[in-house]
Structures are given as structure tokens and as C-alpha cells.
Structure 1
């Protein structure tokens, strides 16, 4: 049994789903581990991680609009230290995921045909997000 740990830095231009599947594929391939379990963990409280549709952009746009309706920006939140998108970003992160577990086989994450790995940026401003990556296997 072997394991490897690292970090991916994902630059985001602002709100939305930002695919970083290619970076994950490169990182996993570089470990030399053929079979195991990959864990991804975003080290922030105002963004999240998703495995989502990567073929039809409309599916991502619909998801973004739905989440914006669920946790809208407004001046009604007590926590607004960094502006009106501050608390909604925390709410959106709370109802999505901050970590993912993905099986690895044949040296690559086991993803479906239309699945991609995304960082879901919930803030309007550009950010550099840090994602911890850990792979255990053989």
C-alpha cells in the first residue's frame, strides 16, 4: 500500500463552475499509483467541489442559477464582512461538498463518460483556491 499527498491551486475568474479534471488526471498519473482511492478537499469556506456534467454547458448554467436562487445575494444577512456575496457563498458551500472521494483504476480516476471534476466558486471576485489531493492504493 502506498500513498501520495499534494495540492492543486485553481485560479477562478469569479462565480461559477470551473473544471479542473485535467489537473487531477495529471496529478494522479504522476503518483504511479494504479488502483486506489482519491480524496480531494477544498481548503476554503466559500467554494465547493462537484462531480458534474462536462458535456452540456446548459446543465452547469442551470445548476448555477438554481443555487443562486436557493442562497441569493441580499443585504439581509448579518455576516457581510466581505460584501453582499459573502454569506451566500458560505451557504452555497454548506449545501454542496467540500470533499470528494473518487476511485482510481488503471492509473486514472474512475469517472463516467460525461463527468468532470469542478471547483464551484461562490464568490464574485477572482480567487486562487487550494485543493488538497490524497491518493492511497497500490
Structure 2
């Protein structure tokens, strides 16, 4: 499974994850944990007093005092949460940043000078044949 599903894109995914970790580390140092957690997923907010709201539903916030909180960046565009209450909680969140945008497609490769030009298309129609346009190879 790893060899077919992940290995071909692993170098790019790893760069994305590493860039996200660096960016989040800077975010923690600038705005604290509250700013960092508030940005991880829609509806998530640090409420203070060791309470974490994980979404906008009417469920009560989780008290995570003394528990392990693991932040796990992933490259898919969706995240989720997981827990083994009351000891461990994980927020699996989609990476953000410039590296997460898909790579632009490469421009077409020009014909090498040594290769033959592509064959001209042949057209069949009832109108008289005209000369090809000036851009025709």
C-alpha cells in the first residue's frame, strides 16, 4: 500500500509537512497556543482553563488538563480528531501554506531539433482545398 499510494508523492508531502511544522512553530511563538489551535480546523477554539472546543457543534468542550495533546499535520484537505480520554488527544489537521497548492503543470516539451516534425493532418471535405495557414508547420 505504501509503495503505491504514498511513496511516489512522499518527497513533496514531506516538504509540505515540514514547512507546516515550521510555520506552526512560528505561530506558537508569536500568538501562543490559543492562536495556533484556533487556526487548525473550522470551529476549533482554545477556551482557556485547559478547555478545548474541537468544532462548532453544541457538544461541551473537552477538559484536557494534564493530558497529552498531539498535533498531527496531514496532506489531505480534511482533518479529524481522536482521543483516548482522559489521557491522550490528537488533532489531525490539514497542512496550510504555499506548498499545499498543487504544482503547476509543466509546459509542453518542444520538439527536439533532431526529431521529425509531426505529420500534417489530412482533411476531407466537400469544399475546395485551401492553402494551410501561415502558422502551419
**Normalising by structure 2, what TM-score?**
0.25
Greater relative contact order (Cα < 8 A, sep 6+): 1
> Which structure is higher in strand share?
1
TM-score, normalisation: structure 1: 0.25
